[in-house]
Amino acid sequence: MKKYQIVEISENHNHAGTKATQDITEIADQLGYERVMIHMNTTKKTKLAKVQRQIGYRKDWAECLKKVEENAVILLQHPFHYPQLTREKILMELKEKKHVKFVSLIHDVEELRAFRYNDYYKGEFDFMLRIADVWIVHNAVMKQFFIECGVPEEKIVTLGIFDYLQSGSVDRKPQFERSITVAGNLDTEKCGYVGQLGQLSSVQVKLFGMNYDKKMDQCENVRYYGSFPTDEIPGKLTGGFGLVWDGAGIDGCIGQSGQYLRYNNPHKLSLYLSSGLPVIIWKEAAEATFVKAQGVGICVDSLKELSTIFEMLDENAYNGYAEATRVLSEKLRTGQFGRKAIRTAEDILGL
């Protein structure tokens, strides 16, 4: 049975997705999924550019219909973030006329993320429910949401955690530090908790990423190290714990973005762990169960607990977390979670 994957390409012929989607594409390559390219010919916002973009989409989806063999399997990564002329029509033709089976790997559920949810994403999600034959979701909590949406439990595969592909192995041991690292968007309006990290006066805070607020320079416990590409940032994470947190404050993950942690697998968790860094995570996050089971970090209700936790933390305890993280890191760096999930989906389809 022939296997394909839909891959979106930007106007400069690079992969148009995030690190997470790029990694799934690479893992699928290794499993024999032939790429079917969908090109975004321009990112400009003029009326002419939009027309040119849709003409390109229509051409590529027509080529997809011709190329894909009957009774094939296609891997889709959801959601598609941009309207594409004839996409849904072609996918339905492949399903109904060529008897193609679809595996949908879910990156985000905008209804659960809430602040980005709109009519487009509702339609995108509803179509995904109609088209897919097997669904790969983040974790057990998200699986339950899909079951409540009417998806048969036996057609759902749980990923566990996103991989974070890196070359080589973790050849260094993280330093024992009573510190936390935040790598990602540092916008204190979007991520309100970042602006409150100065309140944790006894906890050293390391910040990496874009949109740094220079007002944070006034916080004696906070240091900004800059913004780095996804392939460079792992080498900058050298000690302490990576922080998996979101929302409006440090006293629990409040707000829409914070509550999304109850359902999703945050990619920064994969970044930290693949880089050998143990983590601090909100106790009510869906992935807190994974962190606890793997022994790779500490679960807390509030970041205000850290001063007491760090006072009691010794180097032996930290090294225990670090060793468990090192073992897990090898799996994340080589794509073992994504590979297992896709193979399980293939088993469900009888490949």
| Identity of residue 219 | C
Angle at which helices 267-274 and 315-333 cross, to 10°: 110
The fraction of the chain above a pLDDT of 70, given in percent, is 97
Specify the DSSP element, H or E, that contains 92: helix 87-97
The one-character DSSP state at 281 is E
Are 224 and 217 in contact by the 8 Å Cβ rule? The answer is yes
Question: What would the two tokens of residue 121 be?
Answer: 């994403």
d(CA 29, CA 5): 9
Report domain extents, the chain.
3-163+335-349, 175-333
Q: Summarize pLDDT for 235-288 with one digit per residue, the tens.
A: 999 999 999 999 999 999 988 889 999 999 999 999 999 999 999 999 999 999
Report pTM: 0.94
Q: Summarize pLDDT for 298-348 with one digit per residue, the tens.
A: 999 999 999 999 999 999 999 999 999 999 999 999 999 999 999 999 999
Residue with tokens 């229509």: 58
Are 4 and 74 in contact by the 8 Å Cβ rule? The answer is yes
- Indicate if 175-333 has the same CATH topology as 3-163+335-349: yes
Are 86 and 61 in contact by the 8 Å Cβ rule? The answer is yes
Report helix, strand or coil for 75: strand
140 φ, ψ (degrees, to nearest 5): -65, -35
Q: Summarize pLDDT for 186-233 with one digit per residue, the tens.
A: 999 889 999 999 999 999 999 999 999 999 999 999 999 999 998 899
Architecture of domain 3-163+335-349: 3-Layer(aba) Sandwich (3.40)
Does domain 175-333 bear CATH number 3.40.50.12710?
A: no
Q: Summarize pLDDT for 76-126 with one digit per residue, the tens.
A: 999 998 889 899 999 999 999 999 999 999 999 999 998 888 999 999 999
